Structure 1
Amino acid sequence: MGVVRGQEVAEALRSRTAVRLFIYKMEERPLDLDSLSYITDHTGFYGTIKNSPADFAVTEIDVTGQLVTKGCTDVNEELQTQHNTEENFKKTRLCPSTAEAEMKDKLVRDICEAVLEKVDNVFEDQDLPECEADLYNVVNTLLSLDVQESLTKFACSVRSAFESKVSGDDQCELSLGLFPDKSARASIHSAVRQTFPFLLTFTRSPEVLVKPNLDYQELSLLTSEEEADKFFTFLDAKVNSSRFTFQPDVCKEHRKSVHHFISKKFGKLVETKSFSEKSTDGLQKVCITVRFRERKRQRSEENPDIFTAFTLEKENLETLEAIGYLASSLGVLPSDFSYAGIKDKKAITYQSVVVKKVTPERLRGAEVLFKKKGMRIYNIHPTSQHLHLGQLTGNHFTIVVRDVKCHAGDMSEDLENRVEEAVCNVKNRGFINYYGPQRFGKGRNVQSHEIGLALLKEEMAQAIKLFFTPEDGDDPVNKAKKYFFQTEDIKGTLPLMPAYKVRERMLLRALNRYGISDDGCIRGWLSIPHSMRIFYIHAYCSKVWNEAASYRIATYGSKAVEGDLIFHNQDTSETSSLSDRVHIVTAAEEEEGVYSIHQVVLPMPGHSIKYPTNQVGQWYREALASAGLQSCKFRVGTLQLNIPGCYRHIIKYPHNLICEPIIEIDKQSLEKDSEHATSQKPTLKLSFQLDSSCYATVCLREMMKCNF
């Protein structure tokens, strides 16, 4: 095992006393990776990266495993391809026997015909979309024959109980199966409720279940089952501007009971009115009409959420900085943008982004503004929802390593062997899955994790002070920070702060309005989006994780030992909580070698995680206490921040790692002697993929034994 720390520190870390010493040493200087352990013991080699943004290309891999590239995609063609794929799947899937298939087909057709007839009767005067095929496909595709038969029997038993006036058993349930896909669950809910209005569907994690609809039973005692059927079909369909009218009712008290029932159960959704009219025989008849509340529905329809997805190419820009430019150009808030992950600054990157409240046409119209800031957008198309952080499979990297040579003091003259050894080691043994330096910022005076610690301790004024602490340099941002730091003149600082520094300007405007008291500082932090606020706390938790991982490898090496945590990557259909899926390695399991190091995880601090039960768990307790967080609940209510914690694998592996040498002639040598230019700069081109939340610089650190 190779460790970059000195032998004295490595030995000292094995004792509890040294834990405090280690924490102190880690706290007394800016955070970097210099003092953290390695998992492999090869020598490595020297080289430089990010000599220019073009030397470091990052392409996001979406949840379907496809690269997010700049190549324009015809959306209609894509949808057609998706449709064809689904059709081929249906044709090639394992099917029941012909007799069973015919029985299933007939059952589904009968169900759909009954529903359509019922819908036609309910909405006699409404223009309805063609829904027979939709109902048929939902029931036929998503529910197996056995489940359909069980559902029909269950429905018959509930109907019989209702007809016999027996009180419904709300505890009686039937499972329709597990449906991890949200849209599939929604389709099942709608199809079953339209088919059987006297049943209620609900979700328990990804499982869809049905039970008797006791509201239906209550209404059927006031009216008839036929009217109850039609009313609940009307209610579930939610057809725009539709109305439902009960049969004429001469009894005022009875009408009052119906009004009261509907208002009590569904008053937020619908409203009722009694209308009086004369019949053909001259008698006065009163009917109850139900309609959806127009005000809420109109507001929703007049201002629907508009989402536009696109591929963002940026060069030499931070992701949040790029979002700030986009927001400023489009006249929307940075919080209206969503993305799956933060990408490197000094690089050319491609990633998926979704913007809210901006149409595709408007986005295309602003393209020329983005190009001036080193950004381009591609694949613009409407979408139905925003993105979530982590909603990606990983990233593909193409990296050029220049000025490749052996490390200083390495007497080997076989550079090629050094490179081959390093690449093979990382392929086979992986790398310690540290958070990369970009997680913490490049500040020398203040880094993101220090601001996060102040926020966790609810030292809001201190967090503001750290946030505006200037770095060395005379650029406009540092000039503005220096002015604020020296004068606390908020009004004077605002015009000095560049427009693209969105977070800084948001905070300054809030402080100008509310002052720099504790309450004003809280309001200042609340003025920036939640994702930006929690970023700083995540930075601190990431720092703790890095140091814990280094301590774990230095203490126990590269095997799973007693007290380690193992994350069981169960199917998404499991209903257990995250910590329930974490297993603590026993002494017997360590002895038998049941688990390997790549299965071991360490927790990111939070309120809902387990800690290892070996010395690493003690290390966490000592580290948090040293930072003044011994009683921290990892909830900052004043800032609406909740930090449950998570688990992260200690070891990760690059996928499809390819290393190619590139020979580049030294241009200066060529200019001096064009005929005898022999000076060459060894250069490598590395191509590989990493899982989400893994850092290419950390993988290269393990490979090259260099810090970047």
Structure 2
Amino acid sequence: MDSNNKTSMENINEPVRKRMRPDPSSDNNPEESVGITQFLSNHDGFDGIIKYRYSDFLVNEISSDGSIIHLTDLSCPNFDQNKSNSLTNVPLSEEIIDRLKTLSQTHDKDLISIPANDLTKEQRTSIHHFVRSIDINLKSELINGSIQITYQPIANQTRRSTEQWPDKTKPYLKFVLYKENRDTMDTIQSIGALLNMNTSLFQYAGIKDKRGKTCQEVTIHKVLPNKFKNLNQRLSAVKVGNFQLCQNPLRLGQLQGNRFEIFIRNISIESNENIQIYVTNWIEKGFINYFGLQRFGSRTLATQTVGKYLLQHDWSQAINAILAYDETITQEWLRNLLNQWNKTHDIKTILDGTIPYRRSIEVDLLRGLQKHDQTNLIGALSSIPRNTRLLYLHAYQSMIWNKIVSKRLITYGNEILIGDLYINDITNDTNVFYVTENNRNNIKIEQIVLPLPGYDIKYPLNDIHSWYKDLLNEDGINIDQMKYHVKDYSLPGNYRQFIVRPGQVDYRIVYYDNINEDPLQSDYDRLMNHNNNLKSELNTYKGLILAFSLPKSSYATMALREILHRNESKLQTHHQQQEQSSLTNETIINQEEEIEEIEDVVL
């Protein structure tokens, strides 16, 4: 592997005309290219349209204590009424108050100094609180007998001794974040921008789907609800509420899972009895806990391929793959930028503004290459955000995991094997044990886990271990050398359930006439008393509403794949065909209406 450890631009100048693709067969079957090939059930399945509208997909986080997170209250409570009342008697002149408000708006480096020798402790405290009430980024400190106030973003503040908090045992504010058709990170960035706060101050347990209506909890350190009081009016498709004080911040992964309610439109199955059979079988047998296509990015950018190059320490190939040109990229500015790079490799000209560009992974990488003079490729790659680089590595891990699972199902079905790894508690257990002759009959299939390859995990004590070695060897990666001196490119590994059973399943079959009707009621719909009732006189369309719970990191699309017995990409194709058919029908109808209008004129 050392022979591929390229730290210079040796291969960078070889132009790559196409963005790396997962596999030649991926155009027709992207699932197969990432190891998604098997089903547990053997029924015929049926077609349907998933995520036709983002309102067809509701997600509510399940917290670590098992409660389902809902948005039920949009008010901003006052956790310290006495403190609020004291602000009306703050000993400041109108001139000082105006200067504070101006400083909050201009972000100048001005220093506002208020003599404090003649003030009581209570008066000084009220001034500190009043300053914070104007803008959390205004920092006030008692220095040499005066209260000195400057504008300093809260993320950069190291001293907050003057800040009094309603409950010292609960220094965090927790709230429910509701969003529609928006990314979690994008939403947090928008909230931070409006509140003039760094997004790193917000903590959350997981990232929710963009295309859907989702609810999750967020925490922030020592910020009171009144800072959010106008947020719901200022941000579209975002609501915050259910404010409470809590003891600890949220951490990524600190959740049990998610509750889903999904509307599958225009299903092709006629027999309602068969639907009941399929759902019952799904509840009893579960589904293969594959990593879904979302894990691997877009179909044209094979994130797992970049991850493979990074694990091979072939930095130049990784950079080539990230910066490869692809005519299917939707952003015209990015196509132009990558086209120019692959033709000229002239970073200075590309980044001088001749080609308009925005912030992106590709631009970050080009800036890194410019900064490191195209000689330190590891340094250049480090210009890409760390979480993004980890996504490349995790995508490769996930592909290996998927392929191992598929081979296991082909070879052994869902039989529990001697030497398998299992966990005792599927909801919260990181300790793994080996299956033996003595305990085999006491273990359920949903307790079986398979490792994501890494340097700090156990492998099964059976021939599955050799499968991992063989797959990694095919890519030039040694299973025993996955720890690298650059920490970001080392993989400790992890464990993942082999089979998952959906929990608390509920379903109903519905009929409707308007393809665009919304039958699901989100938390915000309930708060606004929006009734989403389907109307049907002709029973034109038939749909299936499924509600179920999944553990964290399990994909709802993979759960649906099992019950429909269709690959996600096939459902998308079916969706596109439906849209095309609808478009064609509309065109025919419009043409007929135009002909009728002409005939009316002629007559």
- State the TM-score, normalizing by the size of structure 1: 0.55
CA distance in 1: counterparts of 2:285 and 2:464, whole angstroms: 22
Structure 2 CA distance for partners of 1:358 and 1:571, relative to 1, 3 Å: closer
Decide whether the 8 Å contact of 1:476 with 1:498 is kept in 2: no
CA distance in 2: counterparts of 1:383 and 1:477, whole angstroms: 45
Tell me what 2:584 maps to.
none
Tell me what 1:423 maps to.
279
Tell me what 1:583 maps to.
433
Counterparts in 2 of 1:208-223, with a 5 A limit?
none
Tell me what 2:311 maps to.
456
- Higher helix content, 1 or 2: 1
- State the TM-score, normalizing by the size of structure 2: 0.64
Matched residue type, 1:659: Y
Tell me what 2:40 maps to.
39
Largest Rg, 1 or 2:
1
Decide whether the 8 Å contact of 1:435 with 1:694 is kept in 2: yes
Structure 2 CA distance for partners of 1:376 and 1:320, relative to 1, 3 Å: same
Fraction of identical pairs, as percent: 30
Tell me what 1:351 maps to.
216
Tell me what 2:168 maps to.
none
Counterparts in 2 of 1:115-514, with a 5 A limit?
299=159, 301=161, 309-326=174-191, 334-355=199-220, 360-364=225-229, 370-371=235-236, 374-379=237-242, 385-406=248-269, 414-441=270-297, 443-471=298-326, 472-476=328-332, 478-479=334-335, 480-490=337-347, 492=350, 501=359, 503-504=361-362, 506-514=364-372
Tell me what 1:699 maps to.
559
Offset, 1:352: 2.2
CA distance in 2: counterparts of 1:633 and 1:661, whole angstroms: 52
CA distance in 1: counterparts of 2:380 and 2:190, whole angstroms: 21
RMSD of the alignment, in Å?
Answer: 3.9
List runs of 5+ in structure 2 lacking aligned partners.
Answer: 1-20, 81-120, 122-156, 166-170, 517-535, 569-603
Match of 2:494 among 639, 646, 666: 646
CA distance in 1: counterparts of 2:557 and 2:210, whole angstroms: 13
Q: Secondary structure at the match of 1:41?
A: coil
CA distance in 2: counterparts of 1:550 and 1:681, whole angstroms: 35
Offset, 1:65: 2.2
**2:467 maps to 1:619:** yes
Tell me what 1:51 maps to.
52
List runs of 5+ in structure 1 lacking aligned partners.
Answer: 1-24, 80-126, 128-296, 407-413, 669-675
Structure 2 CA distance for partners of 1:431 and 1:614, relative to 1, 3 Å: same
Q: Secondary structure at the match of 1:628?
A: coil
Q: Secondary structure at the match of 2:317?
A: helix
Decide whether the 8 Å contact of 2:365 with 2:384 is kept in 1: yes
Offset, 1:685: 0.9
Q: Secondary structure at the match of 1:435?
A: coil
Counterparts in 2 of 1:542-691, with a 5 A limit?
542-569=398-425, 581-587=431-437, 593-630=441-478, 633-638=481-486, 640-666=488-514, 678=538, 680-691=540-551
CA distance in 2: counterparts of 1:699 and 1:650, whole angstroms: 13
Matched residue type, 1:450: T
Decide whether the 8 Å contact of 2:454 with 2:479 is kept in 1: no
Structure 2 CA distance for partners of 1:350 and 1:481, relative to 1, 3 Å: farther
Structure 2 CA distance for partners of 1:655 and 1:76, relative to 1, 3 Å: same
Decide whether the 8 Å contact of 1:44 with 1:418 is kept in 2: no
Decide whether the 8 Å contact of 2:311 with 2:489 is kept in 1: no
Q: Secondary structure at the match of 2:468?
A: helix
CA distance in 2: counterparts of 1:548 and 1:655, whole angstroms: 25
Q: Deviations over 1:199-222 (max 9, x none)?
A: xxxxxxxxxxxxxxxxxxxxxxxx
CA distance in 1: counterparts of 2:489 and 2:268, whole angstroms: 47
Decide whether the 8 Å contact of 1:56 with 1:397 is kept in 2: yes
Matched residue type, 1:600: I
Larger RCO (CA within 8 A; separation ≥ 6)? 2
Decide whether the 8 Å contact of 2:446 with 2:501 is kept in 1: no
Q: Deviations over 1:393-431 (max 9, x none)?
A: 11111111011014xxxxxxx532331121011111111
Matched residue type, 2:262: I
Tell me what 1:62 maps to.
63
CA distance in 2: counterparts of 1:368 and 1:485, whole angstroms: 45
CA distance in 1: counterparts of 2:265 and 2:290, whole angstroms: 24
CA distance in 1: counterparts of 2:324 and 2:485, whole angstroms: 25
- Tell me whether 443-452 or 326-335 shows the greater mean CA deviation: 326-335
Offset, 1:323: 4.2
CA distance in 2: counterparts of 1:357 and 1:536, whole angstroms: 35
